[in-house]
Amino acid sequence: MSDKIAYSREGDIAILTVRNPPVNALSHAVRQGLSDGMDQAEADDGVRAVLIVGEGRAFFAGADITEFGKPPLEPHLPDLINRIEASPLLVVASMHGVSLGGGLEVALGCHYRISVPSAKVGLPEVHLGLIPGAGGTQRLPRLTGVEAALDVMTTGRHIGAGKAHELGIIDVIKDGDPKANGIAYARQLLEEGVSRRPVSEMDPPAPIDWDAAFDTILAKGRGQISPAWCVRAVQAAVEKPFAEGLKAERQIFYDLMQTDQRQGMIHSFFSERAVGNLPELKDVNPRGIQHIGVIGGGTMGAGIATAALLAGLEVTMLEMSAEAGQAARDRIERNLSGAVKRGRITPKQHDQILTHTLVVVTNYDKLQDVDLVIEAVFEDMEVKKKVFAELDRVCKPGAILASNTSYLNIDEIAATTSRPSDVLGLHFFSPAHVMKLLEVVVGDKTAPDVTATGFALGKMLGKISVRAGVCDGFIGNRILATYRTAADQMILDGASPYEIDNALEDFGFAMGPFAVADLAGLDIGWAVRKRKRAEGNVPKRDATYADTLCEQGHFGQKTGKGYYDYAAGPKARVPNPDVLPMIEADRARLGITPRAFTHEEIVRRYMAAMVNESAKVVGEGIARRPLDVDMTLLFGYGFPRYRGGPLKWADIVGLEPLLNDIKSYAAEDPDFWAPAPLLEQLVAENKTFDDLNKKG
């Protein structure tokens, strides 16, 4: 038998113990071992029951995702589960840790299920672009009814043992050792003389309006298709005999396995885990962090402080005056009240944090004890340099000095201190206590253990941290600036902001670029343009419609109007009728004859600009790997997860056609559309961006 399964006996109970660390994925060897184990138990004299139990952290985390996309090897999981269920012996699952996907499906193939109170179950296949493919869509509704089963499958969420017991998924919850519990439960069932209880033999549940459910779930998926297909599989469970339903499920599973969405989702799954794994930090220990300082308690500083407080860190916040300090405290209090409403902290913890864990000061000397300090003052190099001079003066040796700057040069900031190796950028995204992305910006002189501490802090705060090098805008904002420019160019050439937003939202972005601009505040871009203009930096085609909007006091959502009118609330946007005439005036002034853009062309140009700049960012080493760019766009810029990120998307659509698009656009504007050397190289060598991820 495979060494992944240990066979043992306790009287008349055979025990199959799964040993496939770290999370007992159902790899080929595990499936084979379980199949052999069932054979052995059935042939073993005196055995009347089988217990399946996992060793280590979990019962099973599901099918082995690394095997997806490769030819499937027998025994296939659905056949194995049918084989377990059909056994003449009584089969019991004892669950702990997680039982996910195929893991829960194995449990559903067992005749009885016991778990520890901390166990969690779920069918998260939709997060991989799939549906449950080993009987989950057929067995679960027979236990829970259609509505609950669809909720479990289409959200993919993890359900605690208590709720799973209520739903009829788990029969018994008992604290203690899963193996001992399982043996005792199997013995009890044998003594009670209960019979086998195959879920497949249970009656199917009542039907629902399948078409309505399909349409509703499809609409909610923002382009993602797998959740809606769960509905069709469950429909088959209700309408067809079990074996036929299983076939229908399998067909949908295989069809989805062939999709780009499955590729994108699985890329996202592994990249999310790989992004914080930097070879250069493998043996580097981070510095300890318990107490952090935050300089400036505006939008970002208050959000960063909130994230740190929620993670249990002590925070000393420094503001310019007592009044500004009070405003910062009020912002943090509002954020923390939101956390109470969402059940993240209790009202008692909220009060405790505000009275004891957060200290607001106006004097730098109060920062002597902090382990790490994050500056989030105005985006102005001179102001930042003054702050860092103060930090250099007061902070203890070994304290880490970080800046949340969006664009400014970390090396220049570091050079003003006596300890540039302790300086790095920690670039959070707004709102900082909500957004998952953290760019860890590594300067020329940043010490490896300082970088490692940036990543460790990100982990404490529940962020996805990405290593970025120093350049204007680092990874995310630099790429954003380029694709925003492509969108602005399309507007001058004839597209409307609404066509662009709609095309990109149909592509799967959470929000189009103009809706995003309204949310972030149009005054930010206005200030940058004014500064650039003052420096003599005037764009070739000098559009003024965005400035005109701001001059009229329209800064987006916060003033109720921007590209859109928000009179009916932030979610009920309608185009602001003043905008198109302003754009038309610019076109007339610049002598541009507008032309029509299809949604497809909008997406092609926008994505070509994004991929080209991303390739430059990787080629220049600002991002170490393509997956670093992919995760930046996914977690900070609303890129659709099911497309895997811009560079995974590029691999899927093909690099050569993309490069050809870029070259054809370059005929209009050779500077802006200069092809990235890395993209040209990959095309010449017939390679993909993902090939570069694999090099580690």
Q: Residues interacting with ligand NAI, by CB under 6 A?
A: 295-301, 318-320, 324, 376-379, 383, 387, 404-406, 428-430, 520
Say what angle helices 655-666 and 599-619 make with each other, to 10 degrees: 100
Quick one: 63 or 515, whose CB is closer to ligand 3HC? 63
Q: Which stretch binds ligand 3HC (CB under 6 A): 100-108, 111-119, 199-207, 370-378?
A: 100-108
Quick one: 146 or 372, whose CB is closer to ligand NAI? 372
Among ligand 3HC, ligand NAI, none, what does residue 574 contact (CB within 5–8 Å per kind)? none
What is residue 557's DSSP assignment? G
**Cβ–Cβ < 8 Å for 230, 137:** yes
Closest C-alpha among 133, 130, 168 to residue 149 = 168
Among ligand 3HC, ligand NAI, none, what does residue 64 contact (CB within 5–8 Å per kind)? ligand 3HC
Q: Using CB under 6 A, which of 89, 93, 110, 128 touches ligand 3HC?
A: 128
Give the strand order in the sheet containing 159-160: 98-100, 120-122, 159-160
The rounded distance, in Å, linking the Cα atoms of 226 and 128 is 9
> Please, what is the minimum distance in Å from the beta carbon of residue 404 to ligand NAI?
4
> Please, what is the minimum distance in Å from the beta carbon of residue 604 to ligand NAI?
29
Closest C-alpha among 531, 479, 487 to residue 505 = 487
Closest C-alpha among 98, 95, 103, 93 to residue 64 = 103
Tell me the three state secondary structure of residue 400: strand
> Please, what is the minimum distance in Å from the beta carbon of residue 112 to ligand 3HC?
21
157 binds ligand 3HC (CB under 6 A): no
CA 120 → CA 110, 133, 173, 558, distances in Å?
17, 19, 12, 41
Q: Using CB under 6 A, which of 95, 134, 281, 617 touches ligand 3HC?
A: 134
Quick one: 173 or 318, whose CB is closer to ligand NAI? 318
**Beta partners for residue 7, in sequence order:** 16
| Kind and range of the H or E run holding 5 | strand 5-10
**Cβ–Cβ < 8 Å for 345, 339:** yes
132 binds ligand 3HC (CB under 6 A): yes
Among ligand 3HC, ligand NAI, none, what does residue 404 contact (CB within 5–8 Å per kind)? ligand NAI
Among ligand NAI, ligand 3HC, none, what does residue 406 contact (CB within 5–8 Å per kind)? ligand NAI
> Please, what is the minimum distance in Å from the beta carbon of residue 556 to ligand NAI?
12
Quick one: 167 or 634, whose CB is closer to ligand NAI? 634
295 binds ligand 3HC (CB under 6 A): no
**CB hemisphere CA count around 213 (13 angstroms):** 20
256 binds ligand 3HC (CB under 6 A): no
What is residue 72's DSSP assignment? P
| Kind and range of the H or E run holding 327 | helix 322-341
Q: Using CB under 6 A, which of 16, 38, 89, 100 touches ligand 3HC?
A: 100
Tell me the catalytic residues: 406, 427, 439, 477
What is residue 205's DSSP assignment? -
**Cβ–Cβ < 8 Å for 316, 291:** yes
159 binds ligand 3HC (CB under 6 A): no
Q: Which stretch binds ligand 3HC (CB under 6 A): 11-19, 101-109, 143-151, 257-265?
A: 101-109
Binding-site ranges for ligand 3HC (CB under 6 A): 22-23, 25, 61-66, 77, 98, 100-102, 105, 124-125, 128, 132-134, 136, 273
